Amino acid sequence: MSAVQPDRKIDSTTLSRDTNSSTSSTNSFTAEDRKYHASFLASIERNQIRLSRSIIIVLTALHFSGIPSITKYTSKFFHLQNQIGVANNRPIYDIHIDDTYYVIFWVIAVTFLRSFLMQWCFSPFAKHFCSITSRKAKIRFAEQSWSFVYYTVSLICGCYLYYNSPYFNNADQIFVGWPNHTLHASLKRYYLISTGFWLQQIFVLNIEQHRKDHYQMFSHHIITCCLIIGSYYYYFFRIGHLILMTMDSVDILLSGAKLLKYANYSTACDVMFILFMVGWLVTRHGIYNYLFYHTWHNARRLMAESICDPTKIQKRCWTPTIINVFLGLLGGLQILIIIWMYFICKVAYKVITGSGAEDVRSDEDDTDAEEVDEIEPESAFEDETDETDEPIGIKSVGMDAFSSSSDSTLDDESDRRRRLRGQ
């Protein structure tokens, strides 16, 4: 009997500790948290990897089935459509409604890549190389790592395309010859993948638990998608290309500042934030407004031959209303940028006064001060729900367009364990 008693004592202690842990974990969930985690949207959010992976596998299997009646459709998901010729030994494309298939595939592919890299690459990196032990901080670090990687790759591709474009250092060429502009494969692929990325951001924003800046972010994403899709349809993809580059460049600095913050490099974070602020002023208030002014002042003159004429058959034509709609969307985006600049200045004041680049709306829950994992979960994103935002000021007001993601990328097993603890 005496030999058994120590085991009973250990079991009792363990049970007591587990019960206290369960109670603490359960109490940390608000009624809103519990409602969200029981919802259909939460189940989709928890299974992004599985769902997107399954769809990609099914499409790929169907594509390689060799059945002509199937592959004529599946090929549209994997290959660019509507090649109209060859120039300088490179295929030339026009826009087509079938481009929708390619965009849908990349919405799914970006969903998979983002979720997979966050769970299996960026979160483990945060733990093992940056000594980040808080699960919330690891999630935030993973989100910003994805943003940093995507925007860097996108900017590199965009700069390469711009350097080899006819409108390199010649803004008039953005509109000269419109609408008879064609796309080579690289530019078309770049534009359609960018469209898929931004549509995926709307998807993620609406399946995740809403943060405080949800509607600012949602407005930004809607305006951006309207500009990208509308500019593609109306053959304004040259100026769309330049605006995408303008946005990507400064988002790299923002994500870099946040990564340094989560890794507890406060001084480096403040330096990166200053660089970000300078980059923001140059790109989003300088270059962006120059493009806006150039469009407003010169587009009608440079496209005078393509004004709508009912006596002609025209591929695309413009009216003052069409131009004004695009200018209105560009202006609306600039209004959001100006509002965000106000919050950037508030964070800059904190940096100057020595408080550091801290989110004006966040609290300590997003920092590494949160209790560490006693037992590392199978998923790096288990059991995390939070109403606060990033601990650096800009995301809190919706500026970082693609870093917003769910606080809880939970797999089915971790969700099962959470429910059991709550019982």
pLDDT tier for residue 151 given thresholds of 50, 70 and 90 = very high
pLDDT tens string 208-263: 888 888 888 899 999 999 999 999 999 999 999 999 999 999 999 999 999 999 99
pLDDT at 421 over 60: no
pLDDT tens string 364-381: 445 554 444 433 433 334
Which neighbouring-strand residues pair with 92? 85, 184
pLDDT tens string 48-85: 999 999 999 999 999 999 999 999 999 999 999 999 99
- pLDDT of 414 reads 46
Ranking 23-37, 130-144, 296-310, 336-350 by mean pLDDT, the lowest is: 23-37
Asked if 255 and 151 touch (Cβ cutoff 8 Å), the reply is: yes
Asked if 85 and 92 touch (Cβ cutoff 8 Å), the reply is: yes
Ranking 186-195, 217-226, 412-421 by mean pLDDT, the lowest is: 412-421
Asked if 400 and 147 touch (Cβ cutoff 8 Å), the reply is: yes
**Cα separations (Å) of 398 from 90, 219, 356, 392?**
40, 9, 20, 12
- pLDDT of 210 reads 86
- pLDDT of 54 reads 98
pLDDT tier for residue 196 given thresholds of 50, 70 and 90 = very high
Helix residue ranges, H only, 263-405: 266-280, 288-302, 320-352
- pLDDT of 112 reads 98
pLDDT tier for residue 197 given thresholds of 50, 70 and 90 = very high
Alpha-carbon gap, residue 410 to 46, rounded angstroms: 5
Alpha-carbon gap, residue 118 to 184, rounded angstroms: 32
pLDDT at 14 over 80: no
Mean pLDDT along residues 330-348: 91
pLDDT at 27 over 60: no
- pLDDT of 279 reads 96
pLDDT tens string 107-118: 999 999 999 999
Give strand ranges (E) for 24-100: 83-87, 90-93
Asked if 319 and 326 touch (Cβ cutoff 8 Å), the reply is: no
**Mean pLDDT score of the chain, rounded to an integer?**
82
Mark 137-157 as b/e (b = at least 16 C-beta within 10 Å).
Answer: bbbbbbbbbbbbbbbbebbeb
- pLDDT of 364 reads 44
Please compute, for residue 55, the number of CA atoms within 13 A of its CA located in the half-sphere on the CB side.
Answer: 15
Alpha-carbon gap, residue 362 to 379, rounded angstroms: 25
Asked if 291 and 239 touch (Cβ cutoff 8 Å), the reply is: yes
Beta sheet of 90-93, edge-to-edge order: 83-87, 90-93, 183-184
Closest CA to 395 of 242, 276, 275: 276
**Cα separations (Å) of 92 from 175, 189, 192, 225, 318?**
19, 12, 15, 25, 24
- pLDDT of 354 reads 73
Alpha-carbon gap, residue 201 to 387, rounded angstroms: 19
Q: Name the one residue in this structure whose structure tokens are 């390469």.
A: 160
- pLDDT of 55 reads 98
**Residue 44 one-letter amino acid:** I
Answer whether 0.85 is exceeded by the pTM: no
Alpha-carbon gap, residue 29 to 383, rounded angstroms: 10
- pLDDT of 33 reads 81
pLDDT tens string 266-294: 999 989 999 999 999 999 999 999 999 99
Which neighbouring-strand residues pair with 85? 92
- pLDDT of 1 reads 45
Closest CA to 87 of 183, 189, 225: 183
pLDDT at 401 over 80: no
Alpha-carbon gap, residue 71 to 200, rounded angstroms: 25
Alpha-carbon gap, residue 373 to 324, rounded angstroms: 54
Helix residue ranges, H only, 164-284: 185-207, 214-233, 237-262, 266-280
pLDDT tier for residue 348 given thresholds of 50, 70 and 90 = confident
- pLDDT of 346 reads 87
Ranking 189-193, 212-216, 231-235, 296-300 by mean pLDDT, the lowest is: 212-216
Instruction: Give burial (CB, 10 Å; 0-12/13-18/19+) of 323.
Output: middle
* Three-state secondary-structure class, residue 127: helix
- pLDDT of 357 reads 62
Alpha-carbon gap, residue 34 to 36, rounded angstroms: 5
Give the helix, strand, coil percentages of the chain, each rounded to 5: 70, 5, 30
Domain-by-domain residue ranges, the chain?
A: 80-305+314-422
